[in-house]
């Protein structure tokens, strides 16, 4: 009997791992399809600018989100009810903004960053357009497939640490697999296929994957910090990270209305540092919230207890 229970437990755990990897695979395929097919569709429609960026972004969400919603109940993923979503979203945004302001402010005071004069109108326009594209291209589909489906699948059978590391490992597989899918789709539609690799073109693979690891762990911390609609906390944190980094690291290239010069090579460490600060802040927020809630630790436990 004990041997049968052991086999059943091993099978359940194997199934949880398979589902988590499946969530990562769905995201990789959706990203590859969107980025491979989207530009061709934009050209065929004769659009440019923001509409051309929205087409591949919308394709990614249109592929990834419905597939996951067919595989799992929306409530089990952590979307929560409508009344709690804005609150959770603002927690994700607020914690990440505060961590970035603290660390980047310290870096500025230390002479590591030199900020140009901002153009408020251009900055607001960039933030809004970037948020819309990033929501559809990255934040919504990635959080649904990974911190939603992959994390909850693992958390049903494993402890918090294994679930966090497993979800982050699935996250690291997405960029590389998506480049394979994107190259295949590009060939099918007659476009020049992009290079295949573990990181997007132009990114140093090791640096990119290290940053992605820290980012992924921060998002898991956000996922476990909020009792109601926790997935919206991760979406808020995700969007904030992308916005801050695109202003700080790529402001000139993206015409963001604000740019920063890094005056020392060590300035690149400010980004993972503020992610670590945000991770600690989310963990502390979650602990305080659990102590003050009647349900205690229920919302960070097994997925059947989350809403």
Segment 7-26, tens digit of pLDDT: 556 678 999 999 999 999 99
Among 68-82, 88-102, 131-145, where is mean pLDDT lowest? 68-82
What is the structure's pLDDT at 264? 94
Residue 81 pLDDT > 60 = yes
Residue 74 pLDDT > 80 = no
Residue 34 pLDDT > 50 = yes
- Grade residue 295 by pLDDT with cuts at 50, 70 and 90: low
The percent of residues above 70 in pLDDT, for the chain, comes to 91
- The string of pLDDT tens digits covering residues 170-219 is 999 999 999 999 999 999 998 888 899 998 877 889 999 999 999 999 99
Per-range mean pLDDT, top range of 6-15, 74-83, 150-159: 150-159
What is the structure's pLDDT at 293? 66
Residue 121 pLDDT > 80 = yes
- State how many domains the chain has: 1
Q: What is the mean pLDDT of the chain?
A: 91
What is the structure's pLDDT at 298? 42
Task: State the greatest distance between any 2 C-alpha atoms of the chain, in Å, as a whole number.
Answer: 71
Mean pLDDT, residues 34-38 = 96
| Token digits of residue 12 | 């359940």
| Token digits of residue 51 | 């509409």
- The string of pLDDT tens digits covering residues 129-150 is 999 999 999 999 999 999 999 9
Please state whether the predicted TM-score (pTM) of the whole model is above 0.85.
Answer: yes
| Token digits of residue 34 | 């969107």
Domain of residue 248, residue span: 2-305
- Among 93, 140, 126, 111, CA closest to 253: 126
Sequence-distant (≥ 6) Cβ neighbours of residue 144 within 8 angstroms? 64, 65, 68, 69, 77, 231
């Amino acid at each position: 009997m004990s041997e049968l229970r052991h086999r059943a437990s091993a099978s359940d755990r194997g199934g949880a791992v398979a589902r988590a990897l499946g969530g990562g695979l769905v995201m990789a395929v959706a990203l590859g399809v969107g980025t491979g097919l989207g530009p061709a569709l934009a050209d065929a429609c004769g659009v440019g600018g923001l509409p051309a960026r929205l087409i591949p972004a919308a394709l990614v969400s249109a592929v990834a989100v419905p597939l996951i919603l067919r595989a799992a109940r929306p409530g089990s993923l952590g979307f929560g009810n409508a009344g709690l979503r804005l609150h959770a979203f603002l927690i994700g945004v607020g914690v990440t903004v505060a961590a970035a302001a603290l660390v980047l402010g310290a870096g500025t005071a230390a002479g590591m960053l030199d900020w140009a004069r901002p153009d408020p109108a251009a900055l607001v326009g960039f933030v809004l357009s970037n948020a819309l594209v990033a929501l559809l291209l990255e934040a919504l589909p990635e959080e649904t497939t990974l911190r939603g489906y992959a994390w909850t699948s693992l958390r049903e059978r494993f402890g918090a640490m294994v679930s966090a590391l497993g979800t982050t490992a699935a996250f690291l597989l997405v960029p590389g697999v998506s480049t394979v899918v994107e190259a295949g789709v590009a060939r099918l539609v007659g476009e020049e296929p992009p290079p295949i690799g573990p990181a997007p073109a132009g990114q140093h693979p090791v640096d990119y994957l290290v940053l992605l690891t820290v980012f992924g762990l921060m998002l898991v911390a956000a996922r476990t910090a909020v009792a109601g609609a926790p997935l919206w906390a991760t979406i808020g944190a995700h969007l904030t990270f992308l916005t801050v980094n695109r202003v700080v690291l790529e402001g000139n290239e993206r015409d963001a209305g604000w740019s920063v010069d890094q005056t020392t090579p060590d300035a690149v460490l400010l980004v993972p540092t503020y992610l670590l600060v945000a991770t600690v802040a989310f963990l502390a927020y979650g602990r305080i919230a659990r102590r003050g809630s009647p349900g205690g630790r229920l919302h960070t436990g097994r997925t059947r207890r989350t809403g």
